[in-house]
Amino acid sequence: MSSQNLSLRIGVLISGSGSNLQAIIEAIESHQLPDVEIALVVSNKPDAYGLQRALKHRLPAIYLPWSQRTIGVQFIAPKSEMSESESRLTTLLHLFQIDLIVLAGWMRILSAAFLEQFPQHIINIHPGQVVPLQPGMEHKYQPSVVCTRFNKPLTLV
């Protein structure tokens, strides 16, 4: 997950209207996020309005159908393996040379196997999504707001 250019290439994962995506777009356009570019937008829902927002700004936008594995009442991949959808997402993120993955209203639980592939390269700007997998269990994967490539904090509002 590293690119040759100087800008930070972000991949934005969405599931809905894309209001968080729009805020990022506006912050980039107004130079509040210098040296940041949105290199990819991925949605797990074909009718997510956020895809239209991305296309309006000429950003690469992809609908990625999401398959689920059932474990008890939760829909997650087993800890030791990724789902087929996560494997496809991983391929896309590498293909587009994404430096930082931004969960901007992404309404899917990502497996530990997926998260372990991108240590300190994922942030979640929708705090309602950071929940433990089971009640009483501490969540191991808290989003990091430090990009190790630039060794500086990022501010995404």
CATH number at residue 69: 3.40.50.170
As given in the structure block, the two tokens for residue 44 are 């797990």
Specify the pLDDT at position 4: 54
Classify residue 157 by burial, with Cβ atoms within 10 Å: 0-12, 13-18, 19+: exposed
Specify the pLDDT at position 127: 55
Specify the pLDDT at position 68: 58
2 part of a folded domain: no
Of 8-12, 65-69, 120-124, 148-152, highest mean pLDDT: 8-12
Q: To 5 degrees, how large is the angle CA 17–CA 20–CA 22?
A: 80
Longest dimension (CA), the chain: 46
How far is CA 61 from its chain centroid?
Answer: 13
Specify the pLDDT at position 69: 52
3 part of a folded domain: no
142 part of a folded domain: yes
CB 110 within 8 A of CB 87: no
Specify the pLDDT at position 156: 38
The parent domain of residue 86 ranges over: 8-153
Specify the pLDDT at position 5: 59
Question: For the chain, what is the domain count?
Answer: 1
pLDDT tens track for 77-114: 444 578 889 999 999 999 999 999 999 999 888 888 88
Specify the pLDDT at position 157: 32
Query: Chain-wide mean pLDDT for the chain?
Result: 78
Could you tell me the pLDDT band of residue 7, with boundaries at 50, 70 and 90? very high
As given in the structure block, the two tokens for residue 104 are 């901007």
Indicate the pTM of the whole model.
Answer: 0.74
114 part of a folded domain: yes
Active site residues: 126
146 part of a folded domain: yes
